[in-house]
Amino acid sequence: MSRVLIIGAGGVATVAAHKCVQASDVFTDIMIASRTESRCKKLAAALKRPVQTAQVDADNVPQLVELIKSFRPDVVLNLALPYQDLHIMDACLETGVDYVDAANYEPPDVAHFEYSWQWAYRDRFREKGITALLGSGFDPGVSNVYTAWEKQYFDVIDTLDIIDCNAGDNGQAFATNFNPEINIREVTAKGKYYKDGQFIETEPLEFSKMFDFPAGIGPKKIYLLWHEELESLAPYLKPYGLKEARFWMTFSDNYIKHLEVLQDVGMTRIDPVIYEGHEIIPLQFLKALLPDPASLGPLTKGKTCIGCLLQGSKDGKPVKRFVYNVCDHEESFRETGAQAVSYTTGVPAMIGAMMLATGTWKGPGVFNMEEFDPAPFMQKLNEYGLPWEEIVY
């Protein structure tokens, strides 16, 4: 019997709230809070049981502390912007409440993300006796849990490839399936992968190849990106002899074409420019022009497929396994009013909060997903709408 405070009211928070309502045996009291309370109220009205709402500025630590003390949650589920992670962690430290997020911290003025800022909180969370669970989305999140689960089938793991495919179509000329600012910063940043004990930097989208996806999706071109879970998974798998770890994502030719043009004309810049006497950030202006990802739910058709491909050996024999989930955009929208990209992040965010709220995963400090027993999380994925499958080659 637990109380959960969800910070954020976008597509991912929408799915997480629906799933918290479904898990009424665990989450007896729910509050949704964001900078714009009207969005929280709109979300609350779509749920099947009463929930509380509140206005909060997630950049304002005293305001966060006041809200947490007032509502008294057992866990704070941070589904706001990655820029706000540290402020919310500070508030959880001050109030002694467990913390969960779905994406690691990123400074607003630099397109760069890594776990070092949040890992620096380990001692403080340990001393306070509370838990911070980082990256409880799909990738990162489920990808970390998949890796921990598959480990049992290997003595040696040579390579790990995390592969993310969105084979959906929303009919728009150019749109992103989650926050445009975060999405474009991620895609236009330099790539990076792990090989032979070190991380190697690449140019943005420098490497690509074809991958044949299951469930009728078929062959798609995948591009190498830097993604935060590699930062924790590479050292985690090092004792298994890991030689190479990479993250791949699909992009349509149309998406790439638009992105190249926007970069060429400076619209993806994150440094301020002066326009008619006002300081603006081009990428934030572009975000205001692009479709709101929340509006894409009723328009998007097709499927996502996200999984982990591991290769190595067991008892001296070669092993190659792909564990994955396929999620349908239209089915996701019918259930929650959000498309599959939000669904695949919101469901594991709720499950992460559930793991802490029930004490299934527990321990003072700051943790990545692979550091806990994957079995109960894998079970809940099947129960709450993200069933997983495996291919043994």
Angle at CA of residue 353, ends 50 and 144, nearest 5°: 140
User: Residue 363: its pLDDT value, please?
Assistant: 95
pLDDT in tens, 10-54: 999 999 999 999 999 999 999 999 999 999 999 999 998 999 999
Mean pLDDT of 109-118: 83
Residue 265 scores a pLDDT above 70:
yes
CA distance 81 to 375: 29
Return mean pLDDT, the chain.
Answer: 94
pLDDT in tens, 200-242: 999 989 999 999 999 999 999 999 999 999 999 999 999 999 9
H or E segment to which residue 182 belongs = helix 180-188
Residue 320 scores a pLDDT above 90:
yes
Mean pLDDT of 258-268: 84
User: Residue 177: its pLDDT value, please?
Assistant: 66
Instruction: Report which of residues 270 and 306 the model is more confident about.
Output: 306
Residue 150 scores a pLDDT above 70:
yes
CA distance 225 to 251: 11
230 within 8 A of 196, measured Cβ to Cβ: no
Q: pLDDT category, 335, cuts 50, 70, 90?
A: very high
CA distance 284 to 224: 25
In the chain, pLDDT over 90 holds for what percent of residues? Answer: 79
CA distance 204 to 225: 7
Q: How many CA atoms lie within 13 A of 238 on its CB side?
A: 11
354 within 8 A of 315, measured Cβ to Cβ: no
Residue 389 scores a pLDDT above 90:
yes
DSSP one-letter code for 301: B
CB burial of residue 344 (10 Å; 0-12, 13-18, 19+)? buried
CA distance 147 to 346: 20
CA distance 39 to 266: 32
Residue 111 scores a pLDDT above 70:
no
Residue 109 scores a pLDDT above 90:
no
Mean pLDDT of 81-99: 97
Q: Which residues pair with 51 in a beta bridge?
A: none
H or E segment to which residue 128 belongs = helix 122-128
Strands 98-101 and 218-225: unpaired
Torsion over CA: 340, 33, 71, 138 (sign): positive
94 within 8 A of 127, measured Cβ to Cβ: no
H or E segment to which residue 146 belongs = helix 142-150
pLDDT in tens, 62-79: 999 999 999 999 999 999
CB burial of residue 302 (10 Å; 0-12, 13-18, 19+)? middle
Domains of the chain: 2-137+344-381 (3.40.50.720), 142-336+388-392 (3.30.360.10)
Mean pLDDT of 348-358: 98
Residue 146 scores a pLDDT above 90:
yes
CA distance 32 to 53: 5
CA distance 332 to 385: 9
Residue 367 scores a pLDDT above 90:
yes
pTM: 0.92
User: Residue 126: its pLDDT value, please?
Assistant: 98
How many residues does this entry show for the chain? 393
